[in-house]
Structure 1
């Protein structure tokens, strides 16, 4: 008996330390589970990609763009769409939206925890409900978007101001945009009734003059002019932003620089005019001398 008592006393500390170790492991695992939970989204929907029906062009090919989010207010002013750009495996999640004043909101985007992030810059679309009573005026509406890139721990936010409405217009690549028709151009009969675009060479074919029809205060912006073949060019006009335009129907002349590599003979111009709420308009016309 004198021997068994010390043995019993030796086992008890080991058992106590084992219980303490298990308790500690439970605490550690519980803490890890909490850290691994993604932030709760307040968005109506969140999805990868840039919406095909967006009223603005994706900014990827804008030379001045540095990865900032873009966004817009829906025509019925019921929702706000924000498109953020970051690693596709560590996307942002919309975690808060608050009213700053009658024309500005604050929107918070946070990353969920991650072990690794892909080295890409992918779009993610966040659609949020407009807070009650906000956005009923006619001014410019903006959102200050705070992006917390804290997939690997908390970080200071990156702040960006996004114009929501009216939408910023696309910048035209035209060298010159003027109302009316050049003095040396005679319009074909019935041009005003048809309203189809027309194209004319400038002096020495060093410039291209394209005439579009519509409100004189809101001509469509020329976004790109590319060579399809030595005998064909492709010109894309962007959609108009949702702003008030004069209710007239007049010609506007867009003067464009001509790419090199075209034939000296007849050249066809394929024109696409994008529409905000309808299919794009398509034309194929000869460029007249």
Structure 2
């Protein structure tokens, strides 16, 4: 998809998620086509990537461990998410939206170098390339559990936070607040929410318009558990 197309799709993402509760559901995941449209972003300071595919906003696929081939291509297989609770099949909303899947990177990848990625999802196969970013951590180094963000395409980025897997923050608003600054505001969580006691990475997609270019842009996180946290948007 073109850069403009990704940006426009991303701008509809918050609305798509907000409306997903009213959308129709099916007994499984949407039909997969033979040519998989996929893009990616560096996150967690180069320890992970966020793969972006299209489908139901409530049924983002999960990833098997990535395998680095002798040709330097990272191969990733995506799987449908498992059923929830007493479901026998995962019920997915019938919308079509970009959604992100986190993939931990194996030893041997240098984030400073360009990375070719091949993604398989059912009968579909897609390829994408990540431009190298100097100064990132080696993939096998321990995470620092800090929030991170990376450009997927112009105007669309992935943001990763750490915390309870059952209480991921929800993007409420995204604005270009300065020439090289984007402010992302998370929704205020319910006062009575109950969260599991695990520590997991949570990924969301967000879109912004009005930037002259995306080099050297900082992201300011507000809302939920964040108050003015500044991080670079990698890429």
- Of structures 1 and 2, the one with the larger relative CO (CA 8 A, separation 6+) is 2
Task: Please give the TM-score of this superposition, normalised by the length of structure 1.
Answer: 0.33
Q: Which has the higher helix share?
A: 1
